[in-house]
C-alpha cells in the first residue's frame, strides 16, 4: 500500500513563499503515474491545483498559474510544490495524490487513489 506524506506547510505573510514536499512509502514509483496537488479551504470542496504526468507534462489551474510550480525527483522519488507570491486566498490544507493513470491526468479527485494526510498553509495579509 502506497502511503503519501506531505510536509512544508506553515504560516507566511502575503507575498511569501513555501515549498511543499510529498514523500511516499511503498513500492510504486511516482514517475510512472499522474501526481497532483489539491487544496481544501474551510467550507469548500477539494480543488485540483496542478498535475504532472509520467512524461513530466504539467497543468495548472488559472488561479495559481505563474505562482506555483509542480516538480518531481525520481530519486529519491519525491513530489514538490513551490509556491511563490502567496495570497490570503491560498489558505487551505494542501494534499498530494497519486492517480491510477499515467497520462491525461484528471483535474478532480475521482481518479486519485492514494492521498496524503494534508499540510496546512496559512497566508496572512
Judge if the upstream peptide bond of residue 44 is cis by omega within 30 degrees of 0.
no
Mean pLDDT for the stretch of residues 50-70 = 97
Mean pLDDT for the stretch of residues 50-71 = 97
Phi, psi of 32 (to 5 degrees): -95, 0
Phi, psi of 111 (to 5 degrees): -95, 10
User: pLDDT tens digits for 80-124?
Assistant: 999 999 999 999 999 999 999 999 999 999 999 999 999 999 999
Do 38 and 94 contact (CB within 8 A), yes or no? yes
Work out the angle at residue 103's Cα, subtended by the Cα atoms of residues 102 and 106, and round it to the nearest 5 degrees: 100
Among candidates 52, 54, 85, 47, which has minimal Cα distance to 68? 85
Predicted local distance difference test score (pLDDT) of residue 26? 72
Amino acid at each position: 500500500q502506497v502511503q503519501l506524506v506531505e510536509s512544508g506547510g506553515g504560516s507566511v505573510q502575503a507575498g511569501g513563499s513555501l515549498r511543499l514536499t510529498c514523500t511516499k512509502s511503498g513500492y510504486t514509483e511516482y514517475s510512472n503515474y499522474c501526481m497532483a496537488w489539491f487544496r481544501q479551504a474551510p467550507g469548500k470542496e477539494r480543488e485540483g491545483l496542478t498535475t504532472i504526468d509520467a512524461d513530466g507534462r504539467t497543468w495548472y489551474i488559472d488561479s495559481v498559474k505563474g505562482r506555483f510550480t509542480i516538480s518531481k525527483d525520481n530519486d529519491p522519488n519525491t513530489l514538490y510544490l513551490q509556491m511563490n507570491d502567496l495570497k490570503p486566498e491560498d489558505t487551505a490544507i494542501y494534499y498530494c495524490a497519486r492517480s491510477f493513470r499515467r497520462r491525461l491526468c484528471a483535474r478532480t479527485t475521482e481518479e486519485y487513489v492514494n492521498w496524503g494526510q494534508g499540510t496546512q498553509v496559512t497566508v496572512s495579509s
